[in-house]
């Protein structure tokens, strides 16, 4: 792990992939490995080597997810002074680099959906910009690991409005989001002369969910997915 972390750190802060507009969510593993821009990244050189081949599917996936992470990280404004501050920390302290960058590498290595790695990159950007702390990043990152990508539209809907009496197609998604702490599912009851009766339910986004949308689902400083 220690051998690959310096290559990973150098690659994170390379905006080349984001600048050239590669649609990382559409590109396949083989196309990615054969892309000359990707091949120039330090992490690619470490993973696929001078022979520019990666027969191991885990190595291929790690490279793919790392590129998605880099795209997410570089998709918004980054404070260059804070970037330099962080780079100094990981360069001067190998244990610090192992604890943080090593954790991210492990997450990326077991990720399948490229969209999740893009989100992880955005969250890491928020951490580097000191908009969230490391504990926030870890919590939001863990939510991303467990999140269903198909549930994001419902999460965004709850961010924009209170969802009244969700139908079955929505409620099973809100149940999963509620389990992650991203939304709050509440019931509406009414008292009658014969007792309390259930008259409906509604879903609102939680404070944690708002933080997730703000820092994880932003494509840029103005747009959200």
Residue linked to tokens 């939304």: 183
Residue 35 banded pLDDT, cuts 50, 70, 90? confident
Residue 192 banded pLDDT, cuts 50, 70, 90? low
Composition of the chain by helix, strand, coil, percent to 5: 60, 10, 30
Query: How far is it, in rounded angstroms, from Cα 4 to Cα 171?
Result: 43
Domain layout of the chain by residue ranges: 5-146, 150-213
For the CA atoms of 176, 179, 180, 183, the dihedral, rounded to the nearest 10 degrees, stands at: 80
Radius of gyration of the chain (CA): 20
Q: What is the pLDDT, as a whole number, of residue 148? A: 95
Compute the average pLDDT of residues 8-35.
72
| pLDDT tens, position by position, 139-166 | 999 999 999 999 999 999 999 998 888 8
Q: What is the pLDDT, as a whole number, of residue 161? A: 92
Judge whether residue 223 has pLDDT over 70. Answer: no
| Range list of H helices, the chain | 5-12, 16-19, 29-33, 36-39, 42-48, 57-73, 80-92, 94-109, 114-128, 134-146, 152-160, 168-179, 207-216
Residue 2 banded pLDDT, cuts 50, 70, 90? low
Judge whether residue 170 has pLDDT over 90. Answer: no
- DSSP lists the bridge partners of residue 201 as 187
CATH of domain 150-213: 1.10.10.10
Residue 122 banded pLDDT, cuts 50, 70, 90? very high
Residue 129 banded pLDDT, cuts 50, 70, 90? very high
Query: How far is it, in rounded angstroms, from Cα 89 to Cα 27?
Result: 33
Judge whether residue 51 has pLDDT over 50. Answer: no
Q: What is the pLDDT, as a whole number, of residue 116? A: 96
Compute the average pLDDT of residues 48-73.
75
Q: For residue 123, count CB atoms less than 10 angstroms from its CB and return exposed for 0-12, middle for 13-18, buried for 19 or more.
A: buried
Residue linked to tokens 């690991």: 145
Judge whether residue 90 has pLDDT over 80. Answer: yes
pLDDT, averaged across the chain:
83
Compute the average pLDDT of residues 126-148.
96
Q: What is the pLDDT, as a whole number, of residue 222? A: 47
Compute the average pLDDT of residues 25-32.
68
Q: What is the pLDDT, as a whole number, of residue 202? A: 86
- From the CB of residue 84, how many other CB atoms can be counted at a distance below 10 Å? 11
């Amino acid at each position: 792990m220690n051998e690959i972390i310096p290559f990973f750190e150098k690659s994170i802060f390379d905006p080349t992939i984001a600048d050239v507009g590669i649609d990382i969510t559409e590109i396949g593993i083989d196309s990615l490995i054969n892309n000359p821009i990707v091949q120039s990244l330090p992490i690619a050189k470490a993973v696929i080597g001078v022979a520019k081949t990666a027969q191991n599917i885990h190595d291929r996936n790690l490279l793919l997810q790392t590129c998605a992470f880099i795209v997410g990280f570089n998709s918004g404004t980054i404070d260059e002074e804070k970037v330099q501050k962080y780079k100094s920390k990981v360069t001067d302290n190998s244990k610090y680099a192992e604890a943080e960058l090593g954790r991210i590498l492990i997450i990326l290595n077991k990720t399948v959906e490229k969209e999740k790695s893009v989100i992880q990159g955005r969250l890491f950007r928020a951490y580097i910009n000191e908009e969230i702390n490391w504990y926030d990043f870890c919590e939001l990152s863990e939510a991303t690991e467990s999140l269903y990508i198909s549930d994001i539209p419902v999460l965004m809907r709850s961010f924009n409005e209170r969802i009244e009496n969700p139908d079955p197609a929505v409620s099973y998604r809100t149940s999963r989001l509620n389990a992650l702490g991203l939304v709050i599912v509440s019931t509406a009851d009414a008292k009658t002369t014969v007792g309390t009766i259930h008259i409906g339910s509604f879903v609102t986004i939680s404070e944690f969910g708002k933080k997730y949308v703000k820092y994880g689902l932003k494509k840029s400083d103005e747009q959200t997915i």
